[in-house]
Amino acid sequence: MATQSTDVCIAGGGPAGVMLGLLLARAGVDVVVLEKHPDFFRDFRGDTVHPSTLNLIDALGLRARFDAIAHTPLERLDVVLNGIRIHAVDFASLPAPNRSVTLMPQWDLLDLLADAGAQHPSFHLRMDAEVTGVIERDGRVTGIRTRDGDEITARLVVAADGRTSTVRRALGLVPREIPVDTDVLWFRVPRPARPVPDTLAWANRAGLAITIPRPDYLQCALLVPKGSLDALREAGIGAFRERVGRVVPRLADVVGAIGSFDDVKHLNVQIDRLPRWWRPGALCIGDAAHAMSPVFGVGINYAVQDAVAAARVLIPALRPGASSPARTTADAVDAACAAVQRRRAWATATMQRVQRAAHRFLGTGQVARLLDNPPTRTQRAVLRVALPLLRPVLARVVGYGFRPERL
């Protein structure tokens, strides 16, 4: 068992935790980031890096290293409805230079941020270090304990350990769940011999699927009713392949690569939010504070926005050399934690309301009835007149979210 002391101990090496660690270390704050896995490789973490996060990458001076990593920029997001391709979101209306969403495996993004953090002597990343509980004294959180029995004391503990947060549970903070009737099944297939244009979503009366282009394959998701996985398994992998082929006809020739349901990963879609994100000495950010739906792929970016907001208000309270007495410093840290929630709560709640509305719409199958093939006269008029007016709004909401943060 070892004991260590730091200014900030962050549980969770995802986008929120690593970004916050990097930003604090740049300001000279001593920070320890604990990641329970030995590496960042999780095949079904989110891939989407939005323009708001790309702006932060630029501000951090990491763009050259970012561009050197294999990724797929999408200047627009296409949707195929009943066989008709629609340019639903066009990021050209956003301010330069970042007018695209980028698809990059999350482990590559985390490696980039961790390497940047390692350039600062006050940044300490510990892999394979699972947090099992918190240390409290006189009603205040003063540190954490790890699976190996280590204790790390800190002026602030940050829970960035995801939607099943161990730290959040230890703090006794319970999120308010928002009902969702959809789950997601993730799988991968080879790229078809006949090239498929980059397409975000495919929808018809057979269902709705997402296809995320990666360099050598397509990462795919099929939306299914919550609780339907057992019935799908009973029907067999052949029926699953056939269903994917009906939703995305262009994949019919490659669905055989889905060997069994061992190749299909179930994501339990949930939306929730903590009524209170902090306790004395502790703060929750990212999915630990608010689980986001995969709709619009904003999970990474909202986690990063939380980290940026937290760094901006925490650094003045934590900066080395502060002359405030210990009690005053603790009060300043707690006040900063409350300020993080005040700043981010509205943006988070608003996006979650949008996501929930999207789930209600998708769950009823109405998306497949939006457009006939061929389109009716009214539908053609909507595509010609209303969609161009809607694209800049969608680009702003998807690309930046609500209340984007800056360094």
Q: Determine the Cα angle at 186 with ends 183 and 189, to 5°.
A: 150
Q: What ranges do the domains of the chain cover?
A: 3-71+102-178+270-364, 182-267
CA 328 to chain centroid: 35
Among 25-29, 187-191, 214-218, the minimum mean pLDDT is found in 214-218
- CB 22 within 8 Å of CB 109: no
Please check whether the two domains, 3-71+102-178+270-364 and 182-267, share a CATH topology: no
How far, in Å, CA of 32 to CA of 264, rounded?
A: 35
Q: What is the distance between the terminal CA atoms of the chain, rounded to a whole angstrom?
A: 38
Q: Return the CATH number of the domain spanning residue range 182-267.
A: 3.30.70
Say yes or no to pLDDT of 259 above 60: yes
pTM reported for the whole predicted model? 0.90
Which residues are bridge partners to 11 per DSSP?
Answer: 34, 159
Cis bond upstream, residue 374 (ω within 30): yes
321-373 pLDDT, tens digit per residue, is 554 555 458 999 999 999 999 999 999 999 999 998 888 776 666 676 778 88
- Asked if residue 97 has a cis previous peptide bond (ω within 30° of 0), the answer is yes
CB-CB neighbours of 153 under 10 Å: 15
Which one-letter DSSP state was computed for residue 407?
Answer: -
Q: What are phi and psi of 318, to 5 degrees?
A: -110, -10
Condensed to tens digits (0 to 9), the pLDDT of residues 360-403 reads 776 666 676 778 888 899 989 988 998 999 999 999 999 999 99
Q: Where are the alpha helices (DSSP H) in 228-298?
A: 229-235, 237-247
Architecture category of domain 3-71+102-178+270-364 in CATH: 3-Layer(bba) Sandwich (3.50)
> What ranges make up the beta strands (E) of 274-338?
278-279, 282-284
Residue 206 pLDDT more than 90? no
